[in-house]
Amino acid sequence: MPTAWRAPTTTPAPASTRSSGRGRSPFGHQYGDPAHTPNVNLGPIGTAPFYAMAVVPTPLATALGLRTDPDARVLDDRGVPVAGLYACGNDAHSIMASEYPGAGCQVGAGLTFGYLAARHAARS
């Protein structure tokens, strides 16, 4: 019988993060710099330019939004892009069809296709 997988233990989180639980899980640390402590994924931001955007909670009830092309342009019923109209995130047809693989799926798609839409709009 196979042995059950057990997550590796971690060092206690700094006092400033104990109430939220940040830093306690080993998951997500695989892409960080192991030499950077106390959290391998967080560090100072010191080189401009800086960019920011608001990310707010959304309902998880939509999966069949507006059809779009690879530039996030909304397509009409004939599959022709509607000039100047873009959709991403929950407003666009889900990249996962009618499935929802897990938390963050719409956020990632929204960020990615929002970026593609902005690039296309800037070129147009």
Q: What is the pLDDT of residues 32-41, one digit of tens each?
A: 777 777 777 7
Task: Verify that 78 and 36 share a domain, yes or no.
Answer: no
Domain hosting 76: range is 50-124
Of 79, 65, 77, residue with least CA distance to 109: 65
pLDDT at 6: 47
Task: Verify that 107 and 70 share a domain, yes or no.
Answer: yes
DSSP 8-state secondary structure symbol assigned to residue 75: E
Are 109 and 88 contacting, i.e. CB atoms less than 8 angstroms apart? yes
Task: Verify that 119 and 91 share a domain, yes or no.
Answer: yes
Question: Mean pLDDT across the chain, nearest whole number?
Answer: 75
Rounded to an integer, what distance in angstroms lies between the CA atom of residue 66 and that of residue 73? 9
Task: Verify that 32 and 54 share a domain, yes or no.
Answer: no
Q: Is 72 left (phi over 0), alpha (psi -120 to 50) or beta?
A: left
How would residue 20 be classed by pLDDT, with cut points 50, 70 and 90? Answer: low
Task: Verify that 106 and 61 share a domain, yes or no.
Answer: yes
pLDDT at 76: 95
**With a threshold of 0.85, does the pTM exceed it?**
no
